[in-house]
Chains A and B, each alone.
Chain A
Amino acid sequence: MTRRVQITKGILWFITGLAAAVTIVRFTRGLGATTVLSDTTPWGLWVGFDVMGGVALAAGGFVIGAIAHVFRRERYHHAVRPAILTALLGYAAVAVGLLYDLGLPWNIWHPIVFWNPRSPLFEVAWCVMLYLTVLFLEFLPVFLERTRFKGLYRTLLKAQLPLIILGISISTLHQSSLGTLLLIMPFRLHPLWYTPHLPELFFVSAICLGLVMVIFESSVTAWLYERRPHTAMLSGLARFAAGAIAFYLAFRFFDLWHRGNLHLAFENTFEARLFWVEIAMSALIPLVLFLVPRVRRSHTGVFVAAALGVMGFLLNRIDASGLAQVWATGTDYFPAWTEFAVSFGIVSFFALIYLFIQEHFPVEKEIVDEEEKWRQRQLFVLPRFDRLSQVWLGDRTFASRRVYSLLFVVALVLGLTLTPWQPLVEASPVQRARGGEVLRVGFPLGTVQFPHAEHVERIGKDRCGVCHHLHRPGDVGTPCTECHADLYLPTRIFDHVAHVRVLDGNRSCARCHPAEGPREAATAAKCSACHEKDMMAANEVVTRFERTDAPGYRESAHALCIACHRKEAENPDVGKPDLFRCATCHRGVEPHGEAVLEASLATAECTPHR
């Protein structure tokens, strides 16, 4: 065991300890206490990184299997066992990560019994189960090689080729079905990522990621165990990777151009910048590096290119399942530290298992033989004593076991103390405004004294709709709090179940949804088609009628009030240039009333903020 391995293992144990603490909180207190996910952002880091990224990272197994066994490139036989091990552990990590993500994790076995063949998730679930089984059978000979189960070992070796072919077929289905999963959100995923060819694109990018991952992983293993990497094999793989990446780039850009969306990449938007960062990291830079023969022959060069590629393709999965949906959802989700801890903790835990298997089973013969020799030598070393306490330290295995468990426990204690054990995003329900002429609104109640009667008089008795833009059925002047029910969180206001029930079940889909094309909020009939009398026309302030969730109370009230007040402040007839400052409305803020007033006079204008 080298010093590098020991330090790496220590770090991995520490992260695993943090994740263990979060795991306890996750499964006793639920998702609310460990994530900042919401109805608008139900997919966070755990889906993007652990599930989408994890599956793609594991693609090396089938890619190397195909190269070495189906195309019979003997040179790559070295890489098969580590790649299959990575794939096996990667898929196991995905299954474990999914348990954290599912709201009802104990129902994870449902796809086995309750079949829903029209769901892409059904395909995903079955592919994961089948492929995990196949990978286990592919890897089993490594466990059996130095045991007495010779018969089973030989049978499995004979079945190796069919198993690998089976693995390739299932992987093809599975990698692409994760792309299929995103096909149901054409209006949520940004057009730079959305394409009807997402399944094929996911498959191609998985091959690229699989190849760079194998390069990355064997460079790292070689560095850890201080061995020379198989240069010929790595540069060969780099050549394969260059080809795959070139095809991926061509495919992606041709598809963008063909659908007429290429111009979006050259606009000055967050998505365009994200797109170029992703393309540069995943494809452009690695491709250029892999094409230079000198880089291909250098260990550092190949490693840097592969590491960039791995991060870039991971970013692609994270973009597709999260970042490229922000433009539609407007979410300001950023993962909590607990989410990072779980994501990195699962990776660390499975990395530890990877190192353990490498050291105890013949995955790469040189490593396990070296380890075996090292363990034998440890039996005959002189005892070592701690200088300070004169306590026997035991042999190296003994000592490192003490250090690892210490790091794990320290991280576990830290994690358990730092985790809040209560919902990270707290609901703050808004109370209904009270009073007659002057309404007391805000949170806590009475922060803002809203002169309702005065506003009615000034704006006009027939123009309630400027503010009361939507009513509950059969109501007029429905208060803001009916829909903007929480101070900060959005509220879901469209009740699909209730509509289905009232409109006579499944026969009524066509009342709102088109017969062809996607059945979703964007294509459905507008609410005003039926609820004309409940709704006011959109005005200069209220424009977003198409949303099926109402923004938080503060956001909506600020948007409504400040927009009008700013307009009126600029109106010379009104003659109140300070009308849009905070203290105009926030008079009742105690005990900080004076401070708010001063602050608002100091700032040029009041901006809604969270």
Chain B
Amino acid sequence: MLEHWIALARGPFLRLALLAMALGLLRQVALQVWEISWAFHRAGDQVVPWGLAIRRNLEWLLPWRYLQRRERRAYNFTSFVFHVGVIAVPVFFAGHVAIWRQESGIGWWTLPPAVADWLSVLTVAALVGLLAGRAANASSRGLSRFEDWALPVLCIVPFVTGLWTAHPLWSPFDAQAVYLVHLLSAELLLILVPFSKLVHMVLFWVSQTSTELGWRFPPGSGERVRLSLGKQSEGV
């Protein structure tokens, strides 16, 4: 019974999830580029700030800039650890790479199994910590939307079940059921990537550029803002 579902989850569902993620992300990038070019044509100063955009990207990608910040140091550090784990474990876990090599003939460097295990544990711990940090701080609690709570919780599931799949002896549940939950939760997460805030995994790279361009108002913008607000009689 479960074998049938596992076969489905490993075959068509996995293909569907990967395709949905890839094409969905492609759509997001295409829309973003389109909108940036639109903003560019309407901008007052039509110079693309390449240097600034690349510098900002690197600054936010590497940890020391925001680790230097005074406020919420622990939270920022936990977030960094989580991001390392959430990328490294799914991509470089030996079992996953073996499946890629088997299905497509392409393989790459893998994490030593012990490192992968510890990194998974660390990631789960970081997720719990992040949820706690979000709940503890009143202002971030106020800013949080539904997906800010749901996605970290959903993220914990494939990591825990993945650990249990790699080490069935640690698991209190039926190994096949655990494997099925691992597959389905990971696929759900993949499908959600282009349609939730997880889309930042591709839009992160362009958001700095669009922010820079977006603030360059063309001449006469003030007039348009007044028109939109219906306050033509007042001064800018």
Contact = CB atoms under 8 A, between A and B. Distances in A.
Q: Do A and B come from one complex?
A: yes
Contacts of A388: 145-146
Nearest to A382: B228
B44 interface: no
Given A388-B146, A402-B31, A417 B227 contact: no
A406 B27 contact: yes
A380 B146 CA distance: 32
A412 B16 CA distance: 10
A380 B194 CA distance: 30
Given A405-B30, A409-B27, A417-B12, A381 B228 contact: yes
Interface string B1-26: 00000000000100110011001101
Nearest to B147: A389
A414 to B, nearest CB: 8
Contacts of B19: 413, 416-417
A29 to B, nearest CB: 15
Main secondary structure of the interface of B (DSSP, over half): helix
A402 B147 CA distance: 20
Interface in B60-100: none
A456 B228 CA distance: 96
B55 interface: no
A534 B31 CA distance: 70
Nearest to A383: B228
A417 B23 contact: no
Interface string A406-425: 10111011001100000000
B23 A413 contact: yes
B131 to A, nearest CB: 19
A420 to B, nearest CB: 10
Nearest to A17: B23
A398 interface: yes
A604 interface: no
A417 B16 contact: yes
A379 interface: yes
A373 interface: no
Interface residues of B, number: 21
A328 to B, nearest CB: 40
A401 interface: yes
A175 B35 CA distance: 45
Contacts of A408: 27
B138 interface: no
Contacts of A401: 31, 34
B236 interface: no
A382 B224 CA distance: 11
Main secondary structure of the interface of A (DSSP, over half): helix
A408 B30 CA distance: 13
Interface string B43-55: 0000000000000
B35 A398 contact: yes
Nearest to B34: A401
A191 to B, nearest CB: 48
A262 to B, nearest CB: 54
B16 A413 contact: yes
Contacts of B169: none
B114 interface: no
A389 B146 CA distance: 8
Interface in A373-406: 379-382, 388-390, 398, 401-402, 405-406
A153 B227 CA distance: 38
B196 to A, nearest CB: 10
Nearest to B35: A398
Interface in B138-193: 145-147
B229 interface: yes
Given A412-B23, A413-B20, A413-B23, A380 B227 contact: yes
Contacts of B146: 388
Contacts of B147: 389
Contacts of B24: 409, 413
Contacts of A405: 27, 30-31
Contacts of A390: 145
Task: Give the residue among B23, B34, B145, B224 with the most A Cβ atoms within 10 A.
Answer: B23
Given A409-B27, A413-B23, A380 B16 contact: no
B23 A379 contact: no
A379 B26 CA distance: 28
A379 B218 CA distance: 14
21 contacts: A379-B224, A380-B224, A380-B227, A380-B228, A389-B145, A390-B145, A401-B31, A402-B31, A406-B27, A408-B27, A409-B23, A409-B24, A409-B26, A409-B27, A409-B194, A410-B20, A412-B23, A413-B19, A413-B23, A416-B19, A417-B16
Given A409-B26, A413-B24, 14 more contacts: A379-B224, A380-B228, A382-B228, A388-B146, A389-B145, A390-B145, A398-B35, A405-B30, A409-B24, A410-B20, A413-B16, A413-B19, A413-B23, A417-B16
Interface of A: 379-382, 388-390, 398, 401-402, 405-406, 408-410, 412-413, 416-417
